[in-house]
Structure 1
Amino acid sequence: MATLQNLRRADHDAVIADLEQAEGYIASICFKTGPPAAVGVELEFTVHHRDDPAAVLDRDRLCQALGDHAPPALRADSPALPLRHGSAVTLEPGGQVELSSRPHPSLTALHEAVSAELQQLTALLARTGLVLGDTGADPHRAPRRLLHTPRYDAMEAAFSRRGDAGTIMMCSTAGLQVCLDPGPAGELPARWAAVHALGPPLMALFANSGRFAGAGTGWASARQRAWHGIDPSRTRAAPTGTDPATDWTAYALDAEVLCVRRDDGAWATPAGVTFADWVGGALGRRPTYADLDYHLSTLFPPVRPRGYLEIRYLDTQPGRHWFAPAALLTVLLDDAATVARVLELCAPAAGRWVEAARDGLADPVLAGAARAVRALAFDRLARLDLPPHLLADVVEGSTRND
């Protein structure tokens, strides 16, 4: 493992000679184990004209609003300044704005920093009459690409083989991602299983995107409906066995290659070629470790290991209510005893990903599990040194759909 980590620093452009090298590399970087010490969030939002939320988003107006915080994909000469506490501002293909926080040592510190930055972002957009959306899917507009890059072009081409779900996901959805440390090595399998077990109940609890493009969808989360229509080799949940690193490595190598970066020409690839196939020579030149890193960035399961755990299954929440799911996930994975209880409470809802997206809390099994883990989280949060107003925010934000 040390050799592979040194290689990653010294020669990222080295060619991967065989699957054993690829497997060792993925296993060495996917989980950085140790005591849980930090929490971060990534908040995505659709963006709308304040006076006409159904109007097509104006690229120039968005660029003007973000100013020197605009990402280079929107403004090539932008310095891409972070927000006041270090969060990066990026854009999704349809113009959705994403605030990606730094890791913070506590929920209180996270709340203070991200709340201030969310106010800053809101004020920036308001300068040109723009506002943030407050649901996981655009309730007003059909999907429309705002950004055109080789990566996004290749993504849309690959996803379109299965219909329009990929375009909807890219251009019309917004998620709330919570980022947590994997925890001690000995506790990793249970924490990995628990963070997946929490997926269907918490997805149901926080689903808020029943409308899309001016119409009801019949789903609690139109955002998750879109994800379920995309290439399952990169969006299905990863296995939750006793060896998460080995399971994730197999998942990554079995996933289809979405794109191959090229200096000239399109990045699109033939359908059905996995990364393991690429290592075996299926795409001409063999991949490098940099190519493997890029491939890992194109995998979108409900939970993605990136050294830390990136929890991806939640609809974005309105305003200050982003804090409730972040707090629940943090405290429910805080210690081994709580993790064990989570696994017990979520067992009846195991694997109900589609039901959670479609039915939300109308599914009685999911509703029971969601309310049970929420009660467990409330009990654990009451023992923390959270200010009373933050506890009240958690309660309000996690009972809104009842």
Structure 2
Amino acid sequence: MADHYETLGVSREASIDEIKKAYRQLARELHPDVNPSEDASERFKSVTHAYDVLSDPNERQRYDMGGDQGGAGGFGDIFETFFGGGFGGGQRGPRARAERGDDAMIRVDVELSEVIFGVQREIAVNTAVLCGTCSGSCCQPGTSPATCDVCGGVGQVQRQVRSLFGNVVTMHPCGSCSGYGTVIPHPCVECGGKGRVRERRTMNIDIPSGIDTGTRLQMRGGGEVGPAGGPNGDLFIEFRVMHHDVFSRDGNDLLATAQVSMTDAILGAENTVAALDGDVQLEVPAGVQSGDVITIRGRGIQALRSTTRGDLKVAVQVVTPTKLAGREKDLVRQLAALRKEEPPTLGEFQQGLFGKIRDRFFRQG
């Protein structure tokens, strides 16, 4: 059976990043979708199994100590299937008390204005942390684990089973020490012998620009510390972008509506308006119609893992005055007389303003 390290082409001292890099390169070459040959399929299975073992700290430690010889399914495995233990009295040694901690996930609400460039935020997490009294040893200070009297520290006990093949010796986890090989005579009072306690802690996180509701950020090692001071799991942060009363988004574009007076719509105008990241100049062209969209380039949201920004798109809503003074009415009548407008005629039914705005937003996108 080939060594897992040889299968991946890495040294026994390889880091987890080197193991991942080697696996990804081999997987791209041997994946059945890319290389349909039977030899490649078998190698892909071997490479995947090797990666599954070496990428898990506990499995890798067990493998380095002589466990997990590839799962080839030899004669001893048949007896293990029937009798629940190793064949011929083989010993795998005690199990490690320290184990990897669980992953944790929290949800964080983010304002739309914070999404434009990203922001640093302090968050609170209720999770398991290393016990400050015993530092993960699980023992009361001044004491230490004791060798199990039942298994003698090996973490397993032998059982003799009579079968069709004769007497078979099998190995089972020691019930006295749960397979650890040691017991804790004086458990830490603070953590109850677990090596960890629950605590509400705060941490600073960098919220990247361009995230949307449902985006998840993975912080390796930010999750719960494992039993007996084992390595931390990961922390997953899921974001929810809050509703804004004025601005909405379409991908990395920001969308808004501007009410324009009748005179500005006729003559055109330039005004300063407040955007999410400061003031912008809104240039209203002469003759603008309700439903027209004015695009301000580069004033949208900065894309995730990029310096490119979307646009700010402003839909125009021309506001017709409902009350006019006598002089104003006279001037409008004079304008109407000068323009000699044609009377309205019936035509195909047109959708409302918001439907027109929606269609124009997406047409421009």
> Larger RCO: Structure 1 or Structure 2 (Cα < 8 Å, ≥ 6 residues apart)?
1
Does TM, scored on the shorter chain, surpass 0.5?
A: no
Q: Which is richer in helix?
A: 1
Alignment TM class, shorter chain as reference = under 0.3
TM-score (norm 2): 0.22
